[in-house]
Structure 1
Amino acid sequence: MRILVKVLKGSECAVSISSGASIMDIKQQLQSQVSIPVDQQKLIYQGKALLDEKTIEHYKIGDGAKLFLMLKKPGAGATPATSSSTPSQTPIKSPDVAPMAVDTPQEEEFTLPDDPSGFWKKLSDFLKRHFTDKDAIKVLKEFKKNHDRGLNSLSLDDIERLAANKLRNEDKLYHSLRS
């Protein structure tokens, strides 16, 4: 089977592989074609990040499907062999800051970002109805961090696709209003 992979900066390459092959097999072929190390590759299909150990069949990727190749940020994410499931209790020492345990939440003010649409204020109000103020701030911070991470990972192709979709929808609305 032949799979197309959209690579950074608009280029595209094809990978010929069997349907029982793993995502790692695709990454290894890509490494030889585009000179991006396997450990820096992140493959996306239908908006989902693909796991190395899963197969093409698992994700129902068919002949002629298009995958998107993104670069992982250096040091992003720990491998299972190096990650720990329990938080460290070792105090963090800094010359200007008193020692603090790693798993102790910091009490700090969270200011909402400039937001002409009012989205962050509405989300904050919603969370405060369902959580304590302290927990609502924690959830809002995490949501904002994930939101920013998602925006920063958008490629030019992603932005182009979003813009085209938005313009198409507005064009349909315009024509339906004129009729």
Structure 2
Amino acid sequence: MYLTVKLLLGRRCSLKVSGKESVATLKKLVSQHLQVPEEKQHLLFRGQLLADDKHLSDYSIGPNASINVIMRPPEEAALDKTGPPQPLWLQLGQVLGKHFGPKDAKAVLGLLRQEYEERLQRLSPEALEQLAGHLLAQQQLEELAEEKEDLAAASELQQHDGGGEEEEEEEDGKEAAQQTGPPCSFTH
């Protein structure tokens, strides 16, 4: 059977495997074809993380299935949650502190974080891929707009500088004509 294996943001490959293959073997194939180290891969099928010691048939993965590769290990995500709060959460905590007592503000912030994390868990890899594509497209549009502004500013500067030079040349020509007399013309 053939499987499509894809990374977020588009890179993908088609691999020929059997249902008896282990997830670890699939990771080796992905590593060879997409140049992603096996230890950084987490394979997902229908939102479920695939365990290395299981076989593809254990997850009912059939022909033409699509497997997603996530690069960031869940352990790192768990470490981030226990690390220092992100600036967003600090700012939100400060805003809540202005409207609630310290205990209530902490409780509301905890509920907001919990809901945020639950919603992130429900996002499908396809939705994440669409969001990433949208954000990248928006970033590219902003970069193009900045380039156009830079080019317009540079063009305006050149026109301003260039116009000054032409005026100076005209003035120099008039001065030279006044010093030497009227211009000569030759006819044949």
TM-score (norm 1): 0.48
Kindly name which structure, 1 or 2, has the bigger radius of gyration based on alpha carbons: 2
Structure having the larger proportion of residues in strand: 1
Structure having the larger proportion of residues in helix: 2
